[in-house]
Amino acid sequence: MQNIIDLLQRKQLIWKGSEQSIPLINQASYFSEWDKQLEGFPKMGLMEIQSEFGIGELRLLTPMLQSTVQDRTLVLINPPALPCAHYFEAEGIAPHNVLVINSTKHDLWAAEQCLKSGSCACVCLWHPQLEVHQARRLQIAAEKGRALNVHFNLDRQNSCSLPIPLSVQLNATENGIKVNVIKRRGGWQQQAFTVDLSHRWPQLCTQKPLHQVIPFPRHKRQHA
């Protein structure tokens, strides 16, 4: 049993609970709630997001991408919908720096090549649950190219623990998204928290009424 544990440790497939103070190279998300709880996004390597489509999962990455996608490329592999060039341009991300790849057969190969090329700042991959050896290859490729690989896990009900720095689950709320931390390297699992998106995109969030008082109906007086 000890030999198996030693082998897993050498392959960096497990981490010790006492290793909470491992220094991680992170970059700010520019959302105060996220940065307070998770100290930003990993600057390189592989992270996993479990989320329904269109609840703000890509907008969560947008402020970070504004600062990282300057002279490098943002790659979107198998996005669930056609990305809008006007959105990226309005958010300060030049459309010519965004590459969209649609290939269900060679998506993992494409992600690996983009990551280790050194020309990509971030590769977003929509793909079913990764196997451990696949996650490890993407992690190594991202470290080699000094890039971040965001894996949007399409199998929300079929998730296993992967050797990655960060895994979260997102759910929609009235003013943003609720974040459940599934795994975090160098830290314990913590309570869920909410990221408020209404400050940047108020038109996409639920608008609360100015008051909650319902006036009592007035009855008309009857005359004899």
pLDDT for position 1: 63
Output the average pLDDT for the chain.
85
Which residue has better confidence, 222 or 54?
54
* Ordered domains of the chain (ranges, CATH): 25-167 (3.40.50.300)
Indicate if the pLDDT at residue 13 is higher than 80.
no
pLDDT for position 197: 92
Instruction: Tell me the mean pLDDT in the region 79-83.
Output: 92
pLDDT in tens, 191-212: 899 999 998 888 877 766 666 6
The phi-psi region of residue 191 (left if phi > 0; otherwise alpha if psi is between -120 and 50; otherwise beta) is beta
Provide Rg for the chain, Cα atoms.
21
Residue 18: pLDDT band by 50, 70, 90 thresholds?
very low
Contact (Cβ atoms closer than 8 angstroms) between residue 44 and residue 146: yes
Instruction: Tell me the mean pLDDT in the region 98-113.
Output: 94
